[in-house]
Amino acid sequence: MTTSRAPLKHLAPGWYAMVMGLTGLSLAWHAAVPLLGEGAGAGAVVIGALAALVFAVLAGAGVWRLRRHPEAWAEDLRHPVRHVFVAAIPISLILLATAAIAAGLDGPLIEGLWWLGALAQLSVTAWVLSRWWRVGALAGSLWAGLTPALFIPIVGNVLVPMAGVPLGRPEWSAAQFGIGLLFWPVVQVLLLVRVAHQGVWPDRLLPTNFIFIAPPAVVGLSLLRFGVPTLVVWALWGVALFSLLWMLPLLRRIAALPFGMPHWGMSFPLAALTALTLRLAPSGPLSTLGIALLAATSLLIAALVLATLRGLRDGSLLVPESVPIAAAAA
Instruction: Report how far residue 166's alpha carbon sits from residue 162's, in angstroms, rounded to the nearest whole number.
Output: 7
Q: Please, what sign has the CA dihedral across residues 321, 327, 328, 330? A: positive
> Which among 238, 139, 154, 242 is positioned nearest to 191, based on CA atoms?
154
Instruction: Report how far residue 91's alpha carbon sits from residue 121's, in angstroms, rounded to the nearest whole number.
Output: 7
Q: 178: which residues sit within 8 A by CB, 6+ positions away?
A: none
Q: What residues make up the domain containing 189?
A: 3-329
Q: Please, what sign has the CA dihedral across residues 281, 287, 293, 299? A: positive
3-state SS string for 24-46: HHHHHHHHCHHHHCHHHHHHHHH
Query: How many domains would you assign to the chain?
Result: 1
- Supply the pTM of this predicted model: 0.93
Instruction: Report how far residue 159's alpha carbon sits from residue 222's, in angstroms, rounded to the nearest whole number.
Output: 7
Tell me how crowded residue 204 is: count the other CB atoms within 10 A of its CB.
20
Question: In a structure prediction context, what are the per-residue pLDDT tens digits for the chain, which is 330 residues long?
Answer: 334 467 888 899 999 999 999 999 999 999 999 999 999 999 999 999 999 999 999 999 999 999 999 999 999 888 888 899 999 999 999 999 999 999 999 899 999 999 999 999 999 999 998 887 775 555 556 677 789 999 998 888 999 999 999 999 999 999 999 999 999 999 999 999 989 888 888 899 999 999 999 999 999 999 999 999 999 999 999 999 999 999 999 999 999 999 999 999 999 999 999 999 999 987 677 899 999 999 999 999 999 999 999 999 998 898 886 555 544 444
